[in-house]
Structure 1
Amino acid sequence: MEIKVLTVPDCPNQQLAAERLRQALAETGLSTTDLTTHVIADQAEAERYGFTGSPTILIDGRDPFAEPGAPSSLSCRLYRTPDGPAGAPGLDQLRQALRAVADSDTEL
């Protein structure tokens, strides 16, 4: 499994997203999974990655929190969480996304 956190420079939520991801990885038994951060420099790169705001989390190249029809953007991103809009997905949302990918990898 490959996990990337895509961000714009000085994103105020990048650290929160990475911390929650590390915790979710540990809690799902995936603590050895590599987690990298990539800074999106311009609109062309945002479009290439399907980047819809910072931070964007990619698990095996896919955004499990993608909103259909959301345009590429160099802006901050809001996630829908059980507690309302937030700058990063909730811990339970991340665990579910990781388990879904891990389960699909196991079925192959």
Structure 2
Amino acid sequence: MDIALLYFDDCPNWKIADERLAAIAAERPDLTVSRHLVDTIEEAERVGFYGSPSILVDGIDVFAEPDDGVGLSCRVYRTPDGPAGAPTEEQLRAALAVSDRAMR
């Protein structure tokens, strides 16, 4: 399974998401995590960048919501503890489990 972490440098939250993805990837040899710097609005529009960090599983933004806007901004995630700059490790695991089931 390919996971892409899309981010831009001015948002510190991508580093938190990166740490959480690295922890999960250390347990799952079937995961490949890559990082992709998005640094222009044109690129954000081209790749459908909903803010930093964005997490794509096999090319699909697993946390995208219908009203999300594309652009160079920090993204806010709904977590059990309230709004946060990155999904929790549990939310990431759940999203990967859904993707696992969809691939079968």
Question: After TM superposition, is the score higher than 0.5?
Answer: yes
Secondary structure of 2:55's aligned partner: strand
- Matched with 2:48 is 50
- Matched with 2:86 is 88
TM-score, length basis structure 1: 0.88
- Whole-angstrom CA distance in 1 between matches of 2:14 and 2:58: 19
TM-score, length basis structure 2: 0.91
- Whole-angstrom CA distance in 2 between matches of 1:90 and 1:26: 16
Q: CA RMSD in A?
A: 1.4
Deviation at 1:87, TM superposition (A): 0.7
- Matched with 2:31 is 33
Q: Which runs of 5+ in 1 are unaligned?
A: none
1:58-94 Cα deviation digits (max 9, x unpaired)? 0111111102121101011110000001110011110
Secondary structure of 1:97's aligned partner: helix
1:4 aligns with 2:4: yes
Structure 1 moving runs of 4+ over 4 Å: none
AA aligned opposite 1:75:
S
Q: How many residues align?
A: 104
- Matched with 1:22 is 22
1:27-53 Cα deviation digits (max 9, x unpaired)? 5xx234211110002111101111111
- Whole-angstrom CA distance in 2 between matches of 1:11 and 1:70: 17
Identity of aligned residues (%): 50
